[in-house]
Amino acid sequence: MNARKVSSQPPIPDSSRREPSLTIGVLGAGQLGRMMALAGYPLGLRFVFLDPAASAPAGSLAEHVVADYLDEQALERLSACDVVTYEFESVPVEAARRLAQKTQVFPPPDALAVAQDRLLEKECFRALGVPTAPFAPVSTREELASHVQELGLPAVLKTRRFGYDGKGQAVLRSEADLDAAFAELGAQPLLLEGFVPFERELSLLCVRGRDGKVAFYPLVENRHREGILRVTYAPADGIRDSLQATAERYAGQVLERLAYVGVLTIEFFLRDGELYANEMAPRVHNSGHFTIEGAETSQFENHLRAILGLPLGSTEVLEPCAMLNLVGDLPPREAVLAVPSAHLHFYDKAPRVGRKVGHITVRAATRAALDANVTRLLRLPGAG
């Protein structure tokens, strides 16, 4: 045979076209960081986490610097990363500011400063015309008494900083509650808020890119028990387009004001068809975990895309979803995975009362089928 000889030599790759390897530094190494790394690996990203807790959940997946957030050497290691972000908002703003002198830090440290202080956060909402519960700062017992007169009872007294899962707050129902609440919380600066008799709690996950482009997931509904988020329904049932548009308008203003880059979550109370902003989280959020299996692009991937200046991914929700937090205990894997479309996430954390140790996302074609699956999952030992 007289076949023409074809060169078997592959073309020489153009090394200038090789994608640079990128390392993301993350302050905090909790489950949010762990899921961020899991979303980043398919994109070829590397991660370095800084967290003082040696057993932090992201530590088993990536380099983990076990040190204080302000440790010089640790910050040196993180400043060698291409971009630094947070998965926990109670890190010292000082650490973020120092890193920002040497590398890119997103969301901006100023946004972190606002979002970690309930007073600054509510003032930000107020300045933008975003409705909130009435509020007033409190630092003395006398101020508490006078602001309770103004705002009326019931009211909620909260520490300005470091609150999570309903910790660091007390509901004041009568004058008799003031002494005990102040004795418990008054060592720190506080915020008094009017009690909102809401019908539902909703949250909006937003993402803003470096170029200022924004995307929003549909509003989701959050159900709490004992101050801890237990179930998120996504999308929230029966939300009119106009309410989604209002939430997006409020959030868009906040993103713009904070020159925000990354995922931001805003929690709202819904009362008589009106939204009242409760708080914002400058990071990926528990109410967005459903996006891993339930949306075209997960909140974790979109956060990474945003901070790296990559195009944002679609925020479309594929099917009705529910996300169940596993609090304090883990159900048997086999039992969870026997439920159609249930996806299980364990965080590699030791079970402890009140601690979020994993979650389950379940999807279904219809709300009725979803409810049946949720009911089945909630009956499992360790899942309720």
Ligand X SMILES: Nc1ncnc2c1ncn2[C@@H]1O[C@H](COP(=O)(O)OP(=O)(O)OP(=O)(O)O)[C@@H](O)[C@H]1O
Q: Which residues bind ligand X (CB under 6 A)?
A: 133, 156, 163-167, 193, 195-196, 201, 224, 227, 229, 267, 278-279
DSSP per-residue codes, 104-129: EESS-HHHHHHHT-HHHHHHHHHHTT
Phi, psi of 33 (to 5 degrees): -65, -40
Q: Measured from the CB atom, is 193 or 267 closer to Mg ion?
A: 267
Q: Measured from the CB atom, is 112 or 156 closer to ligand X?
A: 156
**What does DSSP assign to residue 379?**
T
- Using CB distances below 5 to 8 A depending on partner kind, what does residue 254 bind out of Mg ion, ligand X, none? none
Among 257, 324, 249, smallest CA distance to 286 is for: 324
For residue 6 the two structure tokens come to 């074809």
Q: Are 295 and 303 in contact (CB under 8 A)?
A: no
Q: Measured from the CB atom, is 201 or 301 closer to ligand X?
A: 201
| CB 267 to Mg ion: min, Å | 5
| CB 191 to ligand X: min, Å | 9
Interface pattern 166-195 for Mg ion (x via CB under 5 A) = ------------------------------
Considering only residues 310-369, where is the footprint of Mg ion by CB under 5 A? none
- Using CB distances below 5 to 8 A depending on partner kind, what does residue 249 bind out of Mg ion, ligand X, none? none
Q: Are 277 and 268 in contact (CB under 8 A)?
A: yes
Residue ranges of alpha helices (H) inside 187-286 are 241-257
Q: How far apart are the first and last CA of the chain?
A: 74
Among 243, 250, 283, smallest CA distance to 265 is for: 283
| CB 279 to ligand X: min, Å | 5
**What angle (nearest 5°) sits at the alpha carbon of residue 296, between those of residues 292 and 301?**
55
| CB 307 to Mg ion: min, Å | 23
| CB 265 to ligand X: min, Å | 9
Query: Hey, how many other C-beta atoms are within 10 angstroms of the C-beta on 294?
Result: 27
Q: What CA–CA distance (Å, rounded) separates 234 from 86?
A: 25
Considering only residues 255-294, where is the footprint of Mg ion by CB under 5 A? 267
- Using CB distances below 5 to 8 A depending on partner kind, what does residue 196 bind out of Mg ion, ligand X, none? ligand X
Q: Measured from the CB atom, is 287 or 373 closer to Mg ion?
A: 287
| CB 276 to ligand X: min, Å | 8
Q: Measured from the CB atom, is 196 or 215 closer to ligand X?
A: 196
For residue 26 the two structure tokens come to 């993350």
Q: Measured from the CB atom, is 169 or 291 closer to ligand X?
A: 169
**Which residues bind to Mg ion, rule: CB under 5 A?**
267
